[in-house]
Amino acid sequence: GTTFATATAFAETAPKDVAFDEYGEVAESLTGTAGDPESGAALMDRGKGNCIACHQVSDLSELPFQGDIGPSLDGAAGRWSEAQLRGIVVNAKNTFPDTMMPSFYHTGPYIRPGDGFTGKAPEGELPPILTAQAVEDVVAYLMTLTDEQN
Amino acid sequence: MAAGAQEVVDDQLVVNGEIPIVTEAPAPDYASALGTIRSGWTFRSEDTQMMQADDFDNPGMLGVEAARAAFNSEMGTGGESCASCHDDPESLSTVRGTYPKWDEEHGTVQTVEMQVQECQTERMGMEEPYGYNSTDMINMVALLSSVARGTPVNVAIDGPAEATWKQGEEMYYTRYGQLELSCANCHEDNYDNMIRADHLSQGQINAFPAYRLKDAALVSVQNRFRGCIRDTMGETFAVGSPEFVALELYVASRGNGLSVEGPSVRN
Which residues of chain B fall below pLDDT 50? 1-9
pLDDT tens, position by position, A3-17: 455 544 557 999 999
The confidence score (pLDDT) of residue B6 equals: 35
List beta partners, residue B26: B36
Going by the DSSP 8-state scheme, the letter that residue B214 receives in this structure is T
* Cα–Cα distance measured from residue B17 to residue A101, given in angstroms and rounded to the nearest whole number: 44
Q: Which residues of A touch B233 (CB under 8 A)?
A: 113-114, 116-117, 129
Longest dimension (CA), chain A: 44
- In this structure, are strands B264-266 and B210-212 parallel, antiparallel, or unpaired? parallel
Neighbours of B106 (CB within 10 A): 12
Instruction: Kindly calculate the radius of gyration of chain A based on its CA atoms and give it in whole angstroms.
Output: 15
pLDDT tens, position by position, A41-85: 999 997 679 999 999 999 999 998 999 999 999 999 999 999 999
Using CB atoms and an 8 Å cut-off, which of residues 74-133 of chain A contact chain B? 100, 102-103, 108, 110-122, 126, 129
Omega within 30 of 0 (cis) for the link into A122: no
Closest CA relative to residue A66, chosen from B196, B198, B193, B192:
B196
Query: What pTM did the predictor assign?
Result: 0.95
* Cα–Cα distance measured from residue A110 to residue B42, given in angstroms and rounded to the nearest whole number: 34
The confidence score (pLDDT) of residue A48 equals: 77
The confidence score (pLDDT) of residue B4 equals: 37
The confidence score (pLDDT) of residue B10 equals: 54
The confidence score (pLDDT) of residue B8 equals: 37
Whether the CB-CB separation of A117 and B231 falls below 8 Å is answered with: yes
The confidence score (pLDDT) of residue A11 equals: 77
For chains A and B, what is the number of CB pairs under 8 angstroms?
A: 82
The full 3-state SS of A7-68, as one line of letters, equals HHHCCCCCHHHCCCCCCCCCCCCCCCCCCCHHHHHHHCCCCCCCHHHCCCCHHHCCCCCCCC
The confidence score (pLDDT) of residue A147 equals: 87
* Cα–Cα distance measured from residue A76 to residue A95, given in angstroms and rounded to the nearest whole number: 14
The confidence score (pLDDT) of residue B9 equals: 46
The confidence score (pLDDT) of residue A46 equals: 72
User: Percentage helix, strand, coil, to 5, in chain B?
Assistant: 40, 15, 45
Whether the CB-CB separation of B261 and B41 falls below 8 Å is answered with: yes
pLDDT tens, position by position, B82-134: 999 999 999 999 999 999 999 999 999 999 999 999 999 999 999 999 999 99
The confidence score (pLDDT) of residue A30 equals: 97
Assess B8–A contact: CB distance below 8 Å, yes or no: no
The confidence score (pLDDT) of residue A10 equals: 56
Q: Which residue of A has its CA nearest to B237?
A: A119
- More confident site: A107 or A9: A107
* Cα–Cα distance measured from residue A93 to residue A77, given in angstroms and rounded to the nearest whole number: 19
Interface test with B, best of A60, A100, A129, A130 (most B CBs within 10 A): A100
* Cα–Cα distance measured from residue B186 to residue B192, given in angstroms and rounded to the nearest whole number: 10
Share of chain A above pLDDT 90, in %: 85
Q: Which residues of B touch A94 (CB under 8 A)?
A: none
Q: Which residues of A touch B179 (CB under 8 A)?
A: 102, 129
The confidence score (pLDDT) of residue A149 equals: 67
| H or E element in which residue B243 lies | helix B242-253
Going by the DSSP 8-state scheme, the letter that residue B40 receives in this structure is G
The confidence score (pLDDT) of residue A26 equals: 97
Helix axes B221-230, B242-253, angle to 10 degrees: 100
